[in-house]
């Protein structure tokens, strides 16, 4: 009976962890470079998201993402000036987390979220996703003490709403699909 209980608990926790990081930084960034721009309904690639990092988002992660992009991004020549971050505009119950990889300047004073706990107390960032490129960090859209942007919904299901910028994940993003948190498609 204890074994059955343990298996059931693991399954439940697995479903609740729909936004848990599973793939490497390089694998996640390849998906965002391929589908990030298409995620926006207006095709501008402008995305507001909760600033996140995955485990190991240090120098090795920046290097792995630059290597995945064949170091063609000019920021890759100055890797020590950046941390690897992810703008997370939405997390769907079945779709998982839409993660857009970006190189955030170390001096940007971004407080990253830990979504296992909550999306409160995070910095929300504005990025521009472009086909085949690491997304460009544009600016800090909302700091933890501001309400320009907020997470709407539950921890593992919902998305970013920025009334100040007239941006809402429900109206500005297309439906998408992921595989282990890597963007694998966008419904046009």
Summarised one tens digit per residue, pLDDT across range 104-161 is 999 998 888 865 556 677 899 999 998 888 999 999 999 999 999 999 988 778 899 9
Residue 138 forms part of a structural domain: yes
pLDDT digits (tens, 9 = 90+) for 50-78: 998 765 556 688 888 888 888 889 999 99
Contact 24, 64 (CB under 8 A): yes
Residue 107 forms part of a structural domain: yes
pLDDT for the residue numbered 93: 75
d(C-alpha 181, C-alpha 35), whole Å? 13
pLDDT grade for 2, boundaries at 50, 70 and 90: low
pLDDT grade for 16, boundaries at 50, 70 and 90: very low
Residue 162 forms part of a structural domain: yes
Residue 1 forms part of a structural domain: no
Q: What stretches of 9-112 adopt beta strand conformation (E)? A: 46-52, 82-92, 96-105
Q: Which residue has the higher pLDDT, 140 or 27?
A: 140
Residue 12 forms part of a structural domain: no
- Find the domain containing 182 and state its range: 23-186
Residue 53 forms part of a structural domain: yes
Give pTM, 2 decimals: 0.81
- Whether residue 88 has pLDDT greater than 70: yes
Residue 154 forms part of a structural domain: yes
Beta-bridge partner residues of 159: 90, 152
d(C-alpha 182, C-alpha 80), whole Å? 25
Number of domains making up the chain: 1
d(C-alpha 188, C-alpha 174), whole Å? 7
Place of tokens 């003490």: 145
- Whether residue 10 has pLDDT greater than 60: no
pLDDT for the residue numbered 117: 57
Residue 63 forms part of a structural domain: yes
Does an H or E element contain 130, and which? none
Contact 28, 53 (CB under 8 A): no
Q: ∠ at Cα 33 (86, 137), nearest 5°? A: 45
R_g of the chain, CA atoms, integer Å: 16
């Amino acid at each position: 009976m204890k074994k059955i209980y343990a298996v059931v608990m693991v399954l439940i926790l697995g479903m609740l962890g729909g936004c848990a990081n599973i793939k490497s930084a390089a694998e996640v960034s390849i998906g965002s470079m391929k589908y990030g721009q298409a995620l926006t309904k207006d095709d501008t690639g402008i995305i507001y998201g909760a600033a996140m990092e995955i485990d190991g988002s240090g120098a090795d992660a920046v290097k792995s993402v630059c290597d995945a992009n064949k170091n063609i991004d000019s920021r890759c020549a100055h890797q020590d000036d950046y941390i690897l971050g992810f703008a997370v505009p939405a997390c769907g119950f079945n779709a998982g987390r839409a993660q857009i990889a970006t190189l955030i300047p170390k001096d940007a004073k971004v407080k990253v979220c830990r979504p296992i706990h909550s999306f409160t107390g995070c910095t929300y960032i504005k990025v521009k996703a472009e086909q085949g490129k690491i997304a460009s960090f544009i600016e800090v859209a909302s700091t933890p003490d501001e309400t320009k942007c907020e997470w709407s919904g539950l921890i593992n299901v919902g998305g970013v709403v920025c009334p100040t910028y007239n941006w809402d994940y429900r109206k500005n993003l297309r439906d998408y699909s992921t595989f282990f948190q890597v963007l694998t498609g966008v419904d046009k």
